[in-house]
C-alpha cells in the first residue's frame, strides 16, 4: 500500500490523541479522545474544528471560466456574483454524477473544492473538456479547515457579517485566509483555506477559544447525515441522476432551458423512478449503507445509501433510494438488517433543521 | 481467591459468577470501537457454540459481531444496554456485560487467555 498522505495538521491530530484512519489515501483523524458523539454535539452546540485538507482545492483561471465550467455542471455559474459560492455537480452523459463540488467566484476565475476521492477524476475531466480554454491550477499546498457550530461566528467575529455561501480574503486569527460562510454539517460556520504552512498557527489560535474543540471524520459524517446532505460514493454516484438524488434545486431554469450540460436530456426528459428519501427505523437498531429496503409485502424495493446514529435524535436515521411512490413522509418501509425485517418510516429531510446564517 | 476473568482473541471476556458465565466485550475493544450506540443481544434460551455469533455491537462507525467465548445456553441478557448502550463504554467489563450463559464444560475456559495473557496480546496489537 502506498504511504498515506499527511495533511499539514497531522502532527496536531496526533498530539491531540486522535485515532487516525486511512481515508482516500490520507491519514485522517477519525475521532479524538472525547469521542464521536461528543464531537458531534460540540458542532451542534458550540464550535467544532475539522481538518478537511484532504479535499481537493483548485482554480479555473481565465476569462470565461464561468461559461466554460457550465459545459460540465448544471448550475448557474455565470450568475455567481463576486464573493459568492454555490454547490453544484459534475454530471455525466448518462445523467449520473461524477462528483459534487463547491464553486466560488474568485478574482480572474473560479475556485473549486472537490471530494478527495474524486479529485483525480475531476481534474482529468476538467483537462479533457476545458483544457486550452481555462488554466486548471491545482492547489495541493493549501490546507482547509472547517469551523462549524453556533459559536463559530463569535470566534471569527471579523467575518460574522458574511452570509451563508459567501466568502472573502482576510486575516483569520492573524493568518491570511480565504474565509467562507459554509460547511457540510447543517450548522452555521466557516471554511478556511490557508497556506499549508499557516495551518497549524490558525488551528492553534482557533482551538485557544474556549468554545472550540477538534472533531473528526466520524462526527463529520453523522452531522452531514442529520443535515440530510449527500456524501459522494454513498448517496451520489455515476449511476444516480441529480433528480433521483433530490438535487433538482441545483439546476436553475436557465440551465434547464439551455440543456447544455452533460446528460441534460437524460436527466430532464426522464422522470426519475426512484428518489432519495429520509427514513427513521423504529427502536435503536442501526440501518447501515447497503441494507435492503422492503415494502409492505417484504419485497426489496430500494437500499440504504447512508445510515447511522443521530446523536441529536438519540436514535438511528437513514437516507436511501426508494420508488417514487414510496417516498412520501409517513410511508412505512422495512429495513433488512442482518436478515431480519425492521420497521420504520419515511420522514422529511433534513432530520435536524439547518442553522445557516442568511444575513 | 478473586474471580478469574478469561479473555478471547476476539476481545470478549467471560467469568463465572454464581455458577453461570457472564460475558461481554473488553475495555480494549470498547476503546477501539468508539461510542457504542446499539447492542443487539441474543434471545434467552438460545444455545450458542463457542465462537458462534452471539451479539452485535454497533458503534457510531460500524457494526461488529460478538462471539460466545464458550459453548452454552443464554440464561439472561443485560436489558440496561437497550436504553444505555454507552454502559459498554463506561464499564465494559462490569456494568456493560452482554449476556449470561449456562455452560456445560468449564474446561473450555482453560483454552482462553487470563488477564495477563490478554494484556500481552493487546500490547502486541498496538
Determine the pLDDT at residue A177.
Answer: 98
B26-79 tens-digit pLDDT: 999 999 999 999 999 999 999 999 999 999 999 999 999 999 999 999 999 999
Give the residues across from A282 on adjacent strands: none
Determine the pLDDT at residue B2.
Answer: 65
Mutate to test the interface with B, among A38, A308, A310 (most CBs of B within 10 A): A308
Determine the pLDDT at residue A1.
Answer: 58
Mean pLDDT of A121-144: 97
Give the residues across from A317 on adjacent strands: A308
CA distance B61 to chain A (A): 7
**Interhelix angle for A36-45 vs A217-226, to 10°?**
50
Is residue A245 within 8 Å of residue A276, measured between CB atoms?
Answer: yes
Print burial letters for A275-294: b (CB count within 10 Å at least 16), e (below 16).
bbbbbbbeebbbbbbebbbb
Look over chain A and give the mean of its residue pLDDT values, rounded to a whole number. 97
Give burial (CB, 10 Å; 0-12/13-18/19+) of B43.
Answer: exposed
What does the alpha-carbon distance between residue A168 and residue B38 come to, in Å, rounded to a whole number? 43
Contacts of A308 in chain B (CB under 8 A): 60
Contact A284 B37 (CB under 8 A): yes
Residue among A31, A37, A286 minimizing CB distance to B58: A286
A2-54 tens-digit pLDDT: 799 999 999 999 999 999 999 999 999 999 999 999 999 999 999 999 999 99
Contact A309 B89 (CB under 8 A): no
DSSP H helical ranges for A25-106? 36-45, 65-70
Contact A218 B61 (CB under 8 A): yes
Give burial (CB, 10 Å; 0-12/13-18/19+) of B76.
Answer: middle
Mean pLDDT of A76-102: 98
Contact A36 B60 (CB under 8 A): yes
Query: Residue B112 to residues A135, B29, B98, B108: CA-CA distances in angstroms?
Result: 64, 16, 18, 7
Determine the pLDDT at residue A206.
Answer: 98
Contact A37 B56 (CB under 8 A): no
Is residue A323 within 8 Å of residue A302, measured between CB atoms?
Answer: yes
Residue among A19, A284, A308 minimizing CB distance to B60: A308
A to B CB pairs, distance under 8 Å: 40
Contact A37 B60 (CB under 8 A): yes
Contact A308 B56 (CB under 8 A): no
Q: 80-119 in B: which are within 8 Å (CB) of A?
A: 82, 85, 89
DSSP one-letter string for A280-333: EESSSPPP-TTPEEE-TTS-EEEEEEEEEEETTTTEEEEEEEEEGGG-STT-EE
What does the alpha-carbon distance between residue B19 and residue A251 come to, in Å, rounded to a whole number? 67
Cβ count within 10 A of residue A194: 24
Mean pLDDT of A55-69: 98
Residue among A35, A284, A286 minimizing CB distance to B34: A35
What does the alpha-carbon distance between residue A119 and residue A116 come to, in Å, rounded to a whole number? 5
B73-103 tens-digit pLDDT: 999 999 999 999 999 999 999 999 999 999 9
CA dihedral for A106, A248, A291, A98, sign (positive or negative): negative
CA distance A280 to chain B (A): 15
Residue B24 has pLDDT above 60, yes or no: yes
CATH topology of domain B5-125: OB fold (Dihydrolipoamide Acetyltransferase, E2P) (2.40.50)
Contact A218 B38 (CB under 8 A): no
Q: Using DSSP, state whether A268 is helix, strand or coil.
A: helix
**Is the bond preceding A9 in cis, omega lying within 30 degrees of 0?**
no
User: Nearest 5°: CA angle at A331, between A330 and A334?
Assistant: 120
Residues with Cβ < 8 Å from A76, sequence gap 6 or more? A86, A252, A254, A255
DSSP one-letter string for A113-166: EE-GGGHHHHHHHHHHHHBTTBEEEE-TTEEEEEEESTTHHHHTGGGTTPPTTB
What is the pLDDT confidence band of residue B104, given thresholds at 50, 70 and 90? Answer: confident
Is residue A191 within 8 Å of residue A52, measured between CB atoms?
Answer: yes
A169-211 tens-digit pLDDT: 999 999 999 999 999 999 999 999 999 999 999 999 999 999 9
What is the residue whose three cell numbers read 483544457? A131
Phi, psi of B123 (to 5 degrees): -65, -35
Domain spans in chain B, listed from the N-terminal domain onward: 5-125
Is residue A189 within 8 Å of residue A159, measured between CB atoms?
Answer: no
Is residue A358 within 8 Å of residue A163, measured between CB atoms?
Answer: yes
What is the pLDDT confidence band of residue B3, given thresholds at 50, 70 and 90? Answer: confident
Cβ count within 10 A of residue A209: 18
Q: Does B58 touch chain A (CB under 8 A)?
A: yes
Residue B1 has pLDDT above 80, yes or no: no
| Greater pLDDT, A314 or A296 | A314
Residues with Cβ < 8 Å from B116, sequence gap 6 or more? none
What is the pLDDT confidence band of residue A359, given thresholds at 50, 70 and 90? Answer: confident
A128-137 tens-digit pLDDT: 999 999 999 9
What does the alpha-carbon distance between residue A281 and residue A285 come to, in Å, rounded to a whole number? 7
Contact A286 B37 (CB under 8 A): yes
CA distance B111 to chain A (A): 30
Single out the residue of A123, A118, A8 nearest to residue A55, CA to CA: A118
Give burial (CB, 10 Å; 0-12/13-18/19+) of A5.
Answer: middle
CA distance B40 to chain A (A): 8
CA distance B105 to chain A (A): 30
Residues with Cβ < 8 Å from B125, sequence gap 6 or more? none
CA-based diameter of chain A, in Å? 61
Determine the pLDDT at residue A159.
Answer: 98
Return the DSSP state at B18: T
A244-281 tens-digit pLDDT: 999 999 999 999 999 999 999 999 999 999 999 999 99
Amino acid at each position: 500500500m502506498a504511504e498515506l498522505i499527511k495533511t499539514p495538521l497531522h502532527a496536531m491530530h496526533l498530539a491531540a490523541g486522535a485515532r487516525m484512519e486511512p481515508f482516500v489515501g490520507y491519514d485522517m483523524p477519525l475521532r479524538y479522545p472525547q469521542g464521536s458523539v461528543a464531537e458531534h454535539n460540540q458542532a451542534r452546540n458550540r464550535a467544532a474544528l475539522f481538518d478537511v485538507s484532504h479535499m481537493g482545492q483548485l482554480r479555473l483561471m481565465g476569462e470565461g471560466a464561468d461559461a466554460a465550467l457550465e459545459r460540465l455542471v448544471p448550475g448557474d455559474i455565470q450568475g455567481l456574483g463576486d464573493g459568492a459560492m454555490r454547490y453544484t455537480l459534475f454530471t455525466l452523459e448518462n445523467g449520473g454524477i461524477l462528483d459534487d463540488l463547491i464553486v466560488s467566484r474568485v478574482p480572474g476565475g473560479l475556485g473549486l473544492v472537490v471530494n478527495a476521492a474524486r479529485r483525480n477524476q475531476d481534474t482529468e475531466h476538467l483537462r479533457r473538456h476545458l483544457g486550452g480554454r481555462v488554466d486548471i491550477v491545482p492547489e495541493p499546498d493549501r490546507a482547509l479547515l472547517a469551523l462549524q457550530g453556533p459559536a463559530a461566528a463569535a470566534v471569527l467575529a471579523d467575518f460574522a457579517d458574511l452570509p451563508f455561501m459567501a466568502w472573502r480574503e482576510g486575516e483569520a486569527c492573524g493568518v491570511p485566509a480565504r474565509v467562507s460562510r459554509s460547511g457540510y454539517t447543517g450548522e452555521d460556520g466557516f471554511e478556511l483555506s490557508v497556506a499549508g504552512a499557516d495551518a497549524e498557527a490558525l488551528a492553534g489560535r482557533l482551538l485557544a477559544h474556549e468554545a472550540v474543540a477538534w472533531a473528526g471524520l466520524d462526527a463529520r459524517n453523522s452531522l452531514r447525515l442529520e443535515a440530510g446532505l449527500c456524501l459522494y460514493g454513498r448517496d451520489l454516484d455515476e449511476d444516480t441522476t441529480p433528480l433521483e438524488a433530490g438535487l433538482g434545486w441545483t439546476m436553475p431554469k436557465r440551465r434547464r432551458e439551455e440543456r447544455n450540460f452533460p446528460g441534460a436530456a437524460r436527466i430532464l426528459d426522464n422522470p426519475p423512478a426512484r428518489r432519495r428519501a429520509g427514513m427513521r427505523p423504529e427502536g435503536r437498531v442501526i440501518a447501515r449503507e447497503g441494507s435492503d429496503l422492503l415494502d409492505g409485502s417484504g419485497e426489496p424495493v430500494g437500499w440504504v445509501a447512508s445510515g447511522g446514529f443521530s446523536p441529536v435524535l438519540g436514535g438511528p436515521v437513514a437516507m436511501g433510494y426508494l420508488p417514487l411512490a414510496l417516498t412520501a413522509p409517513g410511508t412505512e418501509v422495512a429495513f433488512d438488517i442482518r436478515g431480519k425485517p425492521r420497521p420504520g418510516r419515511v420522514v422529511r429531510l433534513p432530520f435536524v433543521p439547518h442553522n445557516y446564517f442568511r444575513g | 481467591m478473586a474471580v478469574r476473568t478469561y479473555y478471547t482473541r476476539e476481545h470478549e471476556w467471560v467469568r463465572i459468577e454464581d455458577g453461570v458465565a457472564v460475558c461481554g466485550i473488553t475495555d480494549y475493544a470498547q476503546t477501539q470501537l468508539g461510542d457504542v450506540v446499539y447492542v443487539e443481544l441474543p434471545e434467552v434460551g438460545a444455545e450458542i457454540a463457542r465462537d458462534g455469533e452471539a451479539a452485535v455491537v454497533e458503534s457510531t462507525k460500524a457494526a461488529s459481531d460478538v462471539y460466545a467465548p464458550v459453548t452454552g445456553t443464554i440464561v439472561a441478557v443485560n436489558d440496561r444496554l437497550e436504553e444505555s448502550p454507552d454502559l459498554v463504554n463506561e464499564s465494559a467489563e462490569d456494568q456493560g456485560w452482554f449476556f449470561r450463559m449456562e455452560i456445560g464444560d468449564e474446561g473450555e475456559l482453560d483454552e482462553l487467555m487470563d488477564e495477563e495473557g490478554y494484556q500481552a496480546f493487546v500490547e502486541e496489537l498496538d
